[in-house]
Amino acid sequence: MRELTVLAMSGSLRAGSHNTALARAAVKLNPGGLAIEIERDLGGLPLYDQDLDTGAPPAPVAALRARIAAADALLITTPEHNASIPAALKNAIDWISTAPGGLLLGKPVAIAGASPGPFGSVRAQLALRQILASVGAEVVVKPEVVVFRCDTRIGDDGALADPYTAELLRELLGALRHKASQLLVDCTE
């Protein structure tokens, strides 16, 4: 079977983001069979505006939509902002979900998140699961990767300092690979 393409999107725009570090760790912990690329320009998207959502959307939107369409699956890493997902991530999902053909419909998506608080990104992940379900994405259910007190689990260099978190992330990537492979087989039958 061919290598599956995964686009990893961090919901954080911060340069030293723990969630972007989590996406980079996914590249290093790849269990095999996946080609993981990190999306780096969510902050360059204009705010969603239906008047701009035409056959010729803004260039950053068209570029993101093309990367999403080309990917076999998505990995979304998200911090928690006010008990939900960050505005930049919601904005990206709004642009992606309104694309012709519904780019998230049936798309396998894995979720992980990190936060310095004691609950990690559990509420953000719950909100993200609801959003993704509403647009028809195929969300990986287990394992849940909720990195609480991430400032002690992710080093200053962005490397995962916690072996348990690394193993959970590796398992999540394996589950994503499995779900994406199953969906590809189902589509060819």
pLDDT at 189 over 60: no
CB 132 within 8 A of CB 104: yes
pLDDT at 35 over 80: yes
Domain architecture of the chain: domains with CATH: 4-188 (3.40.50.360)
The residue with tokens 């998506």 is 109
Residue 155 CA, chain-centre distance (Å), reads 21
Rounded distance between C-alpha atoms, residue 177 and residue 182, angstroms: 9
Other C-beta atoms closer than 10 Å to the C-beta of 134 total 11
| pLDDT (mean) for 5-30 | 94
Q: What are phi and psi of 54, to 5 degrees?
A: -115, -170
What percentage of the chain exceeds 70 in pLDDT?
97
The 3-state DSSP class for residue 38 equals: strand
Predicted TM-score (pTM) of the model is 0.94
Question: With left for phi above 0 and alpha for psi between -120 and 50, is residue 101 left, alpha or beta?
Answer: left
CB 156 within 8 A of CB 128: no
pLDDT at 22 over 70: yes
pLDDT at 158 over 80: no
pLDDT at 186 over 80: no
